[in-house]
Amino acid sequence: MIDEARRSTDTWVGKLSLFWNWIDARDIDKHAMSWAVFGITCYMLYWTMEFIWAHPEKPGLEIGAIIAALMVPWTPVQAAVIRWYFAARTNGRTP
């Protein structure tokens, strides 16, 4: 087949573009990212509870500092993903 007669979807790049358009039209990327962040948050909370139960000898301030060291950096990630998700759902409009 000559290059002029070939459709842009006949190449692997064209097929990848069609696949990405299918994902983007259904917001699958946004849903997957939101669920991934939710899953990581659940895992972090589970780890926190396991740590607390495994170390009853530690004082409360030390436990609180360890939990804060884990959760404080994660909170802006959660906020950014939630903001991105809802901005995408409202087509960028802010209330």
pLDDT tier at 7, thresholds 50, 70, 90: low
Question: What are the pLDDT digits (tens) for 67-83?
Answer: 899 899 999 999 999 88
For residue 41, give the nearest of 14, 64, 75 by alpha carbon: 75
The number of distinct structural domains making up the chain is 1
In a domain, 66, yes or no: yes
In a domain, 20, yes or no: no
Question: Measured between alpha carbons, how far is 7 from 3 in angstroms, rounded to an integer?
Answer: 8
Domain hosting residue 34, numbered range: 27-89
Note whether 34 and 85 are within 8 A (CB). Answer: yes
In a domain, 52, yes or no: yes
85 Cβ neighbours under 8 A, 6+ residues apart: 30, 33, 34
